[in-house]
Amino acid sequence: MTRYDELARRSWKSGEYKAAPESPNAAGAGSGEAEALRSFLRSKLEWIVEREAYDPLRGPAEHPSIVEGAMKLAQYVKFREEKFGGVLFETRSERVFTLSPTGAAVVREIAGGGDEAAIVARLKARFQDPSGAIEREATEFLAFLKEKGLVEQG
């Protein structure tokens, strides 16, 4: 087990995030090494907290690094992936929408942020479609989601 692993386990159990050795003789860590470990551990914990606190399906309102004006799922809409594609739940009216794998891919792209054009562009880049059907179908599906109140602009 590495020194980082030991510190992370001890911090997780105790709730205290200290990178300094418990005694001056422990592990032979000097103040420079302790400070480097402290900085490294803090950066990892901050990254974990940011990742765990961010719900990618909520979009820009909860995450400032995503561009304003991006499309996101409406407040009362929940998405769950399934083997057959996915399900959208509108919790206020208790409506359920079953999605094909293609529909689920569109909803996943909404989580990536951006406006309608950015979402369609990512879908076109992700899936090869010389006929242009992806652009047409994705645009129609996004219009349907807007009409039903399942997505909104941030």
How many CB atoms within 10 Å of residue 106?
Answer: 23
pTM: 0.54
pLDDT score at 92: 86
pLDDT score at 59: 47
pLDDT score at 121: 85
Greater confidence, 114 or 151? 151
Average per-residue pLDDT in the chain? Answer: 76
pLDDT score at 145: 92
Two tokens, residue 31: 């103040």
- Is the separation of the CB atoms in 65 and 58 below 8 Å? no
Q: How far apart are CA 108 and CA 93, in angstroms?
A: 23
What pLDDT, in 10s, does the model give residues 121-144?
888 888 877 788 888 899 999 999
DSSP bridge pairs for 81: 86
* Mean pLDDT, residues 106-111 taken together: 88
Q: How far apart are CA 71 and CA 60, in angstroms?
A: 8
Greater confidence, 9 or 102? 102
Q: Which of 134, 70, 78 lies closest to 106, judged by CA?
A: 134
Question: Would the CA dihedral through 92, 59, 148, 122 be positive or negative?
Answer: negative
Q: How far apart are CA 150 and CA 79, in angstroms?
A: 10
What pLDDT, in 10s, does the model give residues 40-72?
777 777 666 655 554 555 444 444 444 556 888
- How far CA 24 is from CA of 17, 20, 28, 37, in Å, comes to 18, 9, 7, 15
- Is the separation of the CB atoms in 61 and 67 below 8 Å? no
3-state secondary structure of 88: strand
